[in-house]
Structure 1
Amino acid sequence: MGKAKKIKVSKGESRPGKIGLAEQIEGEKIVKAKLQKKVRHRNDDDEEFVDANLSRKILSQARKQQMELEDEHVFGESSSEKKLATKLGPDLSDDNDDSDSELSENDDYENITINEEDERSLQMFMLHDKAPTRTLADLIMEKLNEKKTEIQTQLSEVGPIQMQELDPRVKTMYEGVGDVLAKYRSGKLPKAFKIIPQLQNWEQVLGITQPNRWSAAAMYQATRTFASNCKDNMAQRFYNLVLLPRIRDDLAEYKRLNFHLYQALKKALYKPAGFMKGILLPLLESGTCTLREAVIVGSVIAKNSIPILHSSAALLKIAEMEYTGANSIFLRIFLDKKYALPYLVVDGVVFHFLRFERETRELPVLWHQALLTFVQRYKSDISSEQKESLLQLLKKQCHHSITPEIRRELQHAQCRDAETSEPMTEDPCS
């Protein structure tokens, strides 16, 4: 055995005496007990009792969480059953699950205030001898009859043509699609509706669904489908037959446009040619476009980008159209886009304003505002003769606050056919 090491004792300390083994064991027990007691004492100092109010809050939150978990379990099953109930079948569901992604953005839609004085002045230029407005079903049936007559005329040499009747099962299916669209709020559309643009007789099938019964949300989804999957001519017919009558009816009844229909107008601009030919120009050619309709449709045009070719064609067509008051609103909106318009379009707008030199009726303020916008944006694109003609026009058609500004813009304009032009000093409204 090795030698036991001696215990070093510092100075001032007494050397411990000899202790027996039994006493050493007992001493170790006593030390451990003291250490355990100190640990327990430290833990007791750290622990605190929970206040009664805090206990009640904790229990209350626990009960609420438990109830929410139970509600989610119950209503989750019921909502899944409702989703299954709205489907026409397993093969009629839509694969696109982002139907309402754009509807959450409501930044562009706002309540538009209408000036009553401008509305009364526009009514003076409306065509009151137009035929009464027909329903959507009448329009669809008229178009179908026209198409049928056209086909029979083209193939008259071959023999009489009989329109093919739809399968009763197909007709029943699309009647069910119409029932779904009448109650549609959000979610997936039936796949049977998605294939309508691919059908040769899509107008006939579309009429079976009764678009006049569709909800506003369904109209938006239908516009998305036709704007994305159709050519310009098909989109134009859908806009003219379905979307435009629905918008006008909604405005006439509620005096404001439903948000989903406003989004449908924005989505219709995906096909700018169809939008111009199917919504804008027919609205103005009807002669009964109200100020509210013009302002709302014009706001969609003003807030979205449109190719210059489509805008130029629409601007020239509006300038040549018979004036009904609402034309000035759309002229000003297109002019405010600051396109680099061809001289042909600029000349057409100038001739549009010169036609009112012999107008005896008091022109609305909107007409003067459109003229001011034109000379501000395109005063350098007019010729010297057009400039002189516009100055002569201001002597006949005068507004106390707008005409002096128009005259000042024209006097300081540098025409396209002359490098310098001497300003003319004449009193406004002289």
Structure 2
Amino acid sequence: MGRISNRKKIVKHDPLIESNVVSKKQQYRHGNKKEDINSDDEDVEKETFINSKQTKKILDMAKEQQDEIFFEETGKHLNEGKNIEVDEEDEDEEEQSEFEEDYLEYNDDIEEFANDFAEVDPEEARILEEYLEKSTKTKAAPGLTLADKILNSIKAKEMEQAEPSSNNDNLNDFSAAPRRDEGVALPPKIIKAYSIIQQILTTWTHGKLPKLFKILPSLRNWQDILYVLQPETWTPHVIYEATKLFVSNLNPKEAAKFLNIVLLPRFMTEVAEREKHDVSYHTYRAMRKSLYKPAAFFKGFLFPLLEQESCNSREALLVGSVLAKVSVPVLHSSAALSWLVSQEREMTNANMVFIRVLLEKRYALPYQVIDECVFYFMRFRNVLDGQEVDEKTEVLPLVWHKAFLSFATRYKNDITQDQRDFLLEVLRQRGHKEIAKEIRKELLAGISREFESTISYNQGDIELS
């Protein structure tokens, strides 16, 4: 057990001065004294508020006391201050009387002006009535208004000024603007502004683009302004921003024009001039961004690239890598594939690269496009590898065999039995020594679309029964 201490607690008393002063903490500690404290505060608040009558009495008494003190010291009463106040009141009354007199004079002048305006000669009144009648007639006429009269007078003035200028034979005067039917001409202010922007775009890498450049897609003659801006001098950063701006704000037809004018030449120049024959990072991003409008990409970039004779497999691989990474809608990809496998197209490596890329996307193509692909591969069954045709040795590239393999793996169940037999014959004549086995395996493992439809129909009957 603990030890019990016998020490008594010594009570210490505060001094008398401090004991009379009660702190706020002690007031809140004692709950019984709260009501007394609150009542004292209310009495103090009541005493602080004084009525107007009491204040007036207090002020009067204070003035009397001051007057007595002043009289005892100087022997005079406080009349000088009262006289000053009376003088100030007299001055205020004089100013008010002067203001009233001026106001009355102003009113008299207005009345005189009104009377003068009311007094009109009879002849002037007659002329005024005739004028008012004419104005009412012109208002009643439906085709004639005041604006029409003003426009007619302006046109007449312009015709008078145009006649002497047409007779002038001064050929050195180029200040006159050309007519709209003669061609499109930009004002000199716009040419000057966009030439300054062109200097900025040659070195721009980051930051905000000029506002005049951002409004280009909203203009009808944006192609003429692009001629002033000279896109071949832009940095790759500007090419990306411009592609994003135009593709997102223009319709597919206009966006295809921009891709054909700006992006395609830049892509070809970079592939030709760079050491590794590739494109910059920002140009590659611009190509990916252009695929957000697939119709514009195919019509303005891909098809014009393939129609050029200088298109090589390196350019096709670069564009094909972009096309393989971005998902394209089925209708756009099927239309592009049908254009690539058409009979009008020649057999080129670049063309085969894009056929393989679109086939490896494994879209559910329409039967019409699948039939066109079958006819495309059947065209090569008559020529053997190593055979001389027109003094040239025809050898199918490896890309063709890979495209054939991708077609067989994905669409082996979407072809007819006759088409399967024709493709096996093509494979027998033009097969690759290593890839032909895989293609034959895929074709033989597939089910024709006629038998597949009948099997699914019979299975449905069995389930219903």
TM (normalized to structure 1)? 0.60
Structure 1 segment 136-175 matched on structure 2, within 5 A: 161-175=181-195
Matches within 5 A, 1:119-130: none
Secondary structure of the residue that 1:417 maps to in structure 2? helix
CA deviation vs aligned residue, 1:194-219 (integer Å, no higher than 9, x gap): 11122221111111000010011010
User: Which residue is 1:296 aligned to?
Assistant: 318
Deviation at 1:283, TM superposition (A): 1.4
Residue 160 of structure 1: CA displacement?
A: 9.5
Shift of 1:229: 0.7
Is residue 2:374 matched to residue 1:341?
A: no
Percentage of identical aligned residues: 44
Aligned counterparts of 1:288 and 1:388: Cα–Cα separation in 2: 37
1:358 shift after superposition: 2.5
Q: Provide the rounded CA distance (Å) in 2 between the counterparts of 1:416 and 1:250.
A: 47
Summarize deviations over 1:6-60 as a string: whole Å, max 9, x none.
x947xxxxxxxxxxxxxxxxxxxxxxxxxxxxxxxxxxxxxxxxxxxxxxxxxxx
Name which of 212, 225, 243 aligns with 1:192.
212
Match of 1:226 among 237, 246, 249: 246
Extract unaligned runs of 5+ from structure 1.
1-6, 10-158, 421-430
**Post-superposition, which runs of at least 4 consecutive aligned residues in structure 1 deviate over 6 A?**
none
1:155-194 superposed Cα distances (whole Å, 9 cap, x missing partner): xxxx992113211110011111111111111111111111
Give yes or no for the alignment of 1:382 onto 2:415.
yes
Matches within 5 A, 1:91-130: none
The one-letter code of the counterpart of 1:334 is L
**Equivalent residue number for residue 402 of structure 2:** 369
Match of residue 67 from structure 2: none
Q: How far did 1:367 drift?
A: 0.3
Match of 1:315 in 2: 337
User: Quick one: which amino acid aligns to residue 294 of structure 2?
Assistant: P
The match for 1:330 among 354, 360, 383 is 354
Which gives a bigger RCO, structure 1 or 2 (Cα 8 Å, sep 6+)?
A: 1
User: Compared with structure 1, are the counterparts of its residues 394 and 192 closer, same or farther at alpha carbon in structure 2 (3 Å cutoff)?
Assistant: same
Measured against aligned partners, the alpha-carbon deviations of 1:101-159 in whole angstroms (never above 9, x if no partner) come to xxxxxxxxxxxxxxxxxxxxxxxxxxxxxxxxxxxxxxxxxxxxxxxxxxxxxxxxxx9
C-alpha distance in 2 between matches for 1:292 and 1:219: 21
Match of 2:460 in 1: none
- State the secondary structure of the residue aligned to 1:358: coil
CA RMSD of aligned residues (A): 1.9
Separation in 1 of the partners of 2:254 and 2:452? 48
Asked if the contact 1:236–1:277 (Cα under 8 Å) also holds between the matched residues in 2, the reply is yes
Task: Provide the residue aligned with 2:304 in structure 1.
Answer: 282
The whole-number CA distance in structure 2 between the counterparts of 1:274 and 1:295 is 20
Q: Which structure dedicates a bigger proportion of its chain to helix?
A: 2
**Residue 339 of structure 2 corresponds to residue 306 of structure 1:** no
Q: Is the 8 A contact 1:384 1:418 kept in 2?
A: no
**Correspondence for 1:404:** 437
Q: Does the residue aligned with 2:412 lie in a helix, a strand or coil? A: helix
User: Any conservation in 2 of the 1:294–1:329 contact (CA below 8 Å)?
Assistant: yes
Structure-1 separation of matches of 2:412 and 2:310 = 32
The correspondence for 1:258, drawn from 276, 280, 287, is 280
Deviations 1:327-355 (A, max 9, x none): 22111111111111100110111111111
Q: Distance in 2 between matches of 1:383 and 1:288?
A: 38
In 2, the alpha carbon distance for the partners of 1:315 and 1:165 equals 41
1:33-92 Cα distance to aligned partner (Å, 9 max, x none): xxxxxxxxxxxxxxxxxxxxxxxxxxxxxxxxxxxxxxxxxxxxxxxxxxxxxxxxxxxx
Aligned-partner residue type, residue 417 of structure 2: S
Q: What is the CA–CA distance in structure 1 between the aligned matches of 2:427 and 2:438, rounded to whole Å?
A: 11
Which amino acid is the alignment partner of residue 293 of structure 2?
Answer: K
User: Structure 2 matches for 1:16-165, cutoff 5 A?
Assistant: 161-165=181-185
Q: How many residues align?
A: 266
Residues 1:247 and 2:274 aligned together:
no
Aligned counterparts, 1:352-363, within 5 A: 352-359=376-383, 360=387, 361-363=394-396
List runs of 5+ in structure 2 lacking aligned partners: 8-178, 388-393, 454-465
- Secondary structure of the 1:380 match is coil
8 Å CA contact retained: 1:284, 1:324: no
Cross-structure match for 1:60: none
Does 1:176 pair with 2:193? no
